[in-house]
Structure formats: C-alpha cells, structure tokens
Structure 1
Amino acid sequence: MPEWDWKLSDIRKVEKNNLNVFSCFSCGGGSSMGYKLAGYNVIGNVEIDPQMMELYQENHHPKYPFLMPIQEFKELQDEGLPKELFDIDVLDGSPPCSVFSIAGKRDEKWGDAFKFREGQVVQNLDDLFFDFLDVVEKLKPKIVVAENVKGMITGVAKGFVSLIIKRFQELGYTVQVFLLNAATMGVPQKRERVFFIARRNDLKLKPLQLNFNEAPITYGEVRTGKGKPINPETETFRRWKRRRPSDRSLGDITKRATGKASGFNTVLLQNNRVANTIASGSMLLRTDVAEHVTKEDIIRMQTFPSDYDFKGAPVQYVCGMSVPPVMMKKIAEQIQLQWFK
C-alpha cells in the first residue's frame, strides 16, 4: 500500500515513542495525524472554529480540547491547566497565514483584522504567530514546530520573520527555518511550506538536518472515479475548451487570450504531473475530461485517511487548511530520530 493510502485505524498499529504533542490552530488535525503516524501521542488542542473542533474531537478524541481563541488560552491560569501541558515534548501550531500569502497585495492587509471563516471571531492574523509564541513562553515545551506559507520568507515579510526569530531567542530557544516541498516527502501534491522548528537551549541539541528527496507522485496515481461535470454553459467551460498541454490553470488560458491575469485559482490537473497546492478556495479541474476532481482525489492528494469523518464539512476546505499528515510525519520522524533518540 502506498503511504498516502491509509486509515485512522492504522494509527493503532504504529509503535509509540512516548513523546507528547499539544497542537494549536489544529483545524481538522492534519499535523496531529502526522505526529500520530510517527508514533507520538497528541494529548490536546486549541481551536477557535466550532465546526473544526467537532471534526477534531470526532476523529482524534483529544484528552484536553480547548475550544477558544489562542488569546484566551494563553491567558488561562496555570493552576487551572493540566500538569501534562507543562511537560510536553512538542508544541505544534499553524497560525492562520493568509496575510502572508504570495497571492494578492500582502502588505496592505498587515495590521488589519480579518474574519476568514464563519464561526470565528475577528482577529489580527499577523498577530497570531506572536500569540502562539506567548503560549511557548507559558508551556515551555522542549521543541516547537510552527508551519506557515512560503510568502513569510519573501519580500518585506522577511522583517516579520526576523521578529519571530528574535522572540524565540528571548524565550530561550534556537530556531531553524526550513522551506519544504511536500512533493519531495511522499505527498502527491506540490505544496511549499515554511517550518519554524525550535529547540530549547538548555537541552543542548545539535541543529536539525532535514533533507527529503522522495520520488514524485503524479495525479494519475491517485485519481479516482468520475468527477462532477463542468457546466457547459459557464465561462469556465468555454475557457477550459481552449486549454493547451502546458496550461496549469485557467489563468494561463485567460492571460494568453486577453493579456489579463485572472483565473489562476482554477487549477488544471494532468495525469502525468504532480498536482499543484490544494487550496481551500480553489477550483480543481481535470484536463483530459470536462470534470471536477473527486472528493476522494482531494483526500488522497492531501494524504488524509480514507476513513476520515468530515461530518458534512467541505472536504476541500478542511484539507486545504491542513498540513498534509504524511508531510508532518516525515518531519516528526526526524525530530524523534535526531533529538529524542
């Protein structure tokens, strides 16, 4: 069986390593599943979205779930928190990152409050990473792993990263910044993400080495069934009809026809290519037939388990907002191998 084809029940067969993880901004638990596949015990989570917390509890059964904004969690009295949280091995987190996306005018969004999904309170998204670092200060974990978008290390955003590194140093941690591509880590998807991986200085650990070079997995290897037909009455269909083998999105077609940059969020998938990043709001179309990809395709490309219970939530949204479990598994394995063995 390929690594991306798995079930939640497979986690029971994984040899445990007695390392505990607590996850912030957990969403549906993509990173949590990765840690579990690597043998870790994920003891709890913090999540602001009630629907995502429902999914997390249904699929992960956390011992210590906290449905609240990260700002409220960091202000909880230490005496009222479980003692286990003050002796965790890894603090995991993926602070919402849309203000750092390379798409759009990033700088104009910084400092503003955004409500990026129903059921969530309005927050300053560029403050959330520092709220997460306040949790680091509170719990003092041995290791911190924080995932974010590639846009954080490009352009003027590099100044923001410098502030993050400085804050880690103030807290007594040495942090490394890695740009990793899921396509080199056994994931059927080109997904570049930045990982801040910090070690507590008193542990005197050597720098972490991460080098992944696994063979790419094409869309054709994970493709399933017949997808929903593209409506022939739409502009999407008319543009799709004008596709060329080199086109990766409808944006390529639009730019060729009009000179305007639009439609790049409608992605074209070819059997002989690795799929582009699965974004929560993009449209994913097959190239050889006028069809959308199937939900099963998305689950496989994101390396979610085939038996994950989405409880009616949009599959693409949950997957697009999550870390691919197999990607996190590969990182977690190296953390255990290099720092805990």
Structure 2
Amino acid sequence: MRPDWDWSLKDLKRVPQNGRKVFTSFACGGGSTMGYKLAGFIVLGNVEIDPQMMRIYRQNHDPRFTFLMPIQQFKEIPNSELPAELFDLDILDGSPPCSVFSMSGDREEKWGGEFMFREGQAKQQLDNLFFDFLDVAEKLQPRAIVAENVSGMIKGNARGYVSLVLSRFREIGYRPQLFLLNSATMGVPQKRERLFFIAARKDLKLPKLQLEFNEPPVLYRDIREGTGSTINPQSLTFRRWLKRRPKDLNIGDITAREEGKVSNFNTILIRNQKVPNTLASSSVFLRTDQPQHISETDIIRIQTFPRDYDFLDAGVQYVCGMSVPPLMMKRIALEIYKQWFEEK
C-alpha cells in the first residue's frame, strides 16, 4: 500500500465525493485545490492573476470556472454576471500572497507599498489582499472561509494587522478561528508552519472547529529518490556545503530546525533522518551526504504533489514552493467536513 504522499491525479477518480463545493483564489499551482479534492470536495474553479500559473492550473485541474485577473477586478464583477453556483459555496478558499509578513528581511518597511509579487504581474498593495479576499467572501457568502498565510502574521507588529482581519471577518457575518499548524504533524514530509483562518457563517450556528494533528513524522530518507544536480565545486554554495554538512548525522531532534532559522543564505542542508525544512520557491536544498541538490522527485514528494502533475514550462520548485501542500489541506478539509458538513 502506497503512503499518502505518493499519489497520482488519476487517484482522484476513486475518491468518493461528498457533494460540497469550493471556490479558490490566489490558487497558484492548486495545492489547496488538490487537498479539497482528495477530501471529496468539488472544486468549481479559481481566481488567479498569473497567466503561467493559470495555464498550469487549467492543465491539471480542469476547472469549470476560471477568472484570470486580479482579485480586485473579480470582486467588482456584477453578481448577475457570475455563475449561480458561486453563490452556493460551502467553502471559499484563498492564500493571499504573504511575503510582506514573512519573518525574513525588513518586512515592516514593505507594509503599505505596492509591489509586483512576480515579474509580469500587476502591482498590488500586498497587505491589502486579505481584505480584498474578504470582500469577495462578503459578496459570495459561502458557508465557510479558509485562508492560509505565514506564521509571521501573529508575530511582532503584524499582530495588529491580524486583529483588523479578524474584525473584518466578524463584520461580514463570520465567526473566525485561528490555527497555527505544522505540516510535519499531518503526514507531510516537511516542517511547514502556517497560519489558517477558518470561519463559519454566524447564521449557521456551527460548533467551534477542533483541529489537532499528531501523525508520525515522515523523514527525508522515507521519500528520497533520484539523483540531484551536482553542486559546482567552484561555487559559494559548495563552500557552504563543506562548512555546514554535519560531522555526526545521527544527532538532534528530527523535527528541530537546523540553525534556528528556516534557512541560512537560502541554503538548507537536508538530513536523511530528519523532516525536511520548509520548501520555499527560492530555497536551495542540498543533501548532506553527497554534494548534490535534492532531486525534483524529492521536491514533489516533500510538497505532497502528485507524481503525474504537469508543470508545463514552470520550475518544479517554484510551483511547489508557492502552493499549500495538498496533503496538509486534505487533513484540514476532512475535519471541516466531519465537524461541520457531514450529515449526522
């Protein structure tokens, strides 16, 4: 029997559907989309600003309704011009871009400024995107809202921003809950700590959601496969690898971070007997026992993407690093269904 992290898009055809409907925004490669589908939900479609990511999303997920545009434009579409199904959603999902709340860099200096999240996209004020997302929620009135973001949102000065977000949830008629979750406790071979805002519409009088996950860790040696590209012996990366590779590969807690931070100059050494660190789109992941980068198969498995995912012309690590691990979202979606939507 294959482990949960080793799966195929073809497997979705065998997942019993529960009839509950989801629409997602800031969809990127569709990590959360695949998680909902693995949990039996129907994902109707998405909103996405990036043309390349939209092509990839359509290729892999065959959505009914797609909107290639900024979310600010989507929320201004007259209700009469939107599909009726979008006004009968069980879950509105979204992962508003969160780089301005990351704990790396001078994040406060970015607040209030307009940036292109990626080359080729429109400039946006990234710290406003969460409120744009909630404007869409107010428009569509789904039964529940799920929004994922970085843990940095509840650290330091950003906590005031979170208070404003929670107030907006309540203002539009929802009862929000905050969950700080680590994917390593959810069967994902990755220490990815993320904040989830999950809210139920007040008029439904649903109970408080309980989320506790304690699955055994999946180590790098469990998912490791293939040969990664060789580190250039003349490079700075190689010198870092020589300096930082452990002399004793058997020490330390398997869930501990390597140096107190997720990365050191964006270079991360992965040990066989530990859970891999957070996979970011710009990280450099190196094997400790060989002067190699990890393989693309490793990247796909660390992020729990399906083995037959079509990345088209995009980088595997970029798409994976920008997405929610499908298995992480599957675990959350199953609990939402069981506790809120399942017929008792």
User: Smaller-chain TM-score range?
Assistant: over 0.9
- Which residue does 1:199 correspond to in 2? 200
Give the corresponding residue for 1:220: 221
Q: Distance in 1 between matches of 2:108 and 2:142?
A: 32
Code of the residue aligned with 2:163 in structure 1: it is S
8 Å contact kept, 2:190–2:303: yes
Partners of 2:172 and 2:86 lie apart in 1 by 17
1:294 matched residue in structure 2: 295
Q: How does 1:236-247 map to 2 (within 5 A)?
A: 236-245=237-246
Paired AA for residue 101 in structure 1? S
Report what 1:234 is aligned to.
235
Which residue number in structure 2 is paired with residue 95 of structure 1?
96
Unmatched 5+ stretches in structure 2: 253-257
Q: Tell me, yes or no, if the aligned pair for 2:59 and 2:310 is still in contact at 8 Å.
A: yes
- Retained in 1: the 8 A contact 2:245–2:269? no
Q: Aligned partner of 1:80: which letter?
A: E
**Are the aligned partners of 2:36 and 2:43 in contact in 1 as well (CA < 8 Å)?**
yes
Q: In 1, Cα distance between the equivalents of 2:303 and 2:245? A: 26
1:174 is paired with a residue whose SS is strand
How many residues are matched? 334
Dislocated runs of 4+, deviation >6 Å: none
Q: Which residue of 1 aligns with 2:17?
A: 16
Q: Is residue 265 from structure 1 mapped to residue 261 from structure 2 by the alignment?
A: no
**SS of equivalent to 1:158:** helix
Between the aligned partners of 1:121 and 1:78, the Cα distance in structure 2 is: 24
The unaligned stretches of length 5 or more in structure 1 are 256-261
User: Match for 2:77: what amino acid?
Assistant: L
SS at match of 2:110: coil
How far is the alpha carbon of 1:243 from its aligned partner?
Answer: 2.2
2:146 alignment partner, SS class: strand
Letter in 2 for 1:83: A
Q: Distance in 2 between matches of 1:339 and 1:235?
A: 52
Matched residues, percent identical? 63
Deviation at 1:116, TM superposition (A): 2.1
TM-superposed CA distance for 1:244, in Å, is 4.3
- Distance (whole Å) between structure 2 residues aligned to residue 235 and residue 278 of structure 1: 21
Q: How far, CA to CA, are the matches of 1:10 and 1:119 in structure 2?
A: 34
Name the SS of the counterpart of 1:198 in structure 2.
strand
Question: Is the counterpart of residue 167 in structure 1 residue 172 in structure 2?
Answer: no
Q: Which residue of 2 is the match for residue 127 of structure 1? A: 128
Structure 2 residue 11 is the aligned partner of structure 1 residue 7: no
* CA shift in 2, pair 1:280/1:27, >3 Å: same
SS of residue paired to 2:112: coil
1:80-132 CA distance string (max 9 Å, x none): 00000000100000000000001111111100011121221111000000000
Alignment of 1:177-192 (within 5 A): 177-192=178-193
Partner of 1:69: 70
Q: Does 1:143 align with 2:169?
A: no
Which residue of structure 2 aligns with residue 47 of structure 1?
A: 48
Please give the secondary structure, in 1, of the residue aligned with 2:108.
coil
Q: What is the SS of the residue equivalent to 2:107?
A: coil
Q: Compute the displacement of 1:235 (Å).
A: 1.6
Aligned Cα root-mean-square deviation (Å) = 1.9
Superposed displacement of residue 236, structure 1: 1.4
- Normalised to the residue count of structure 2, the TM-score between the two structures is 0.94
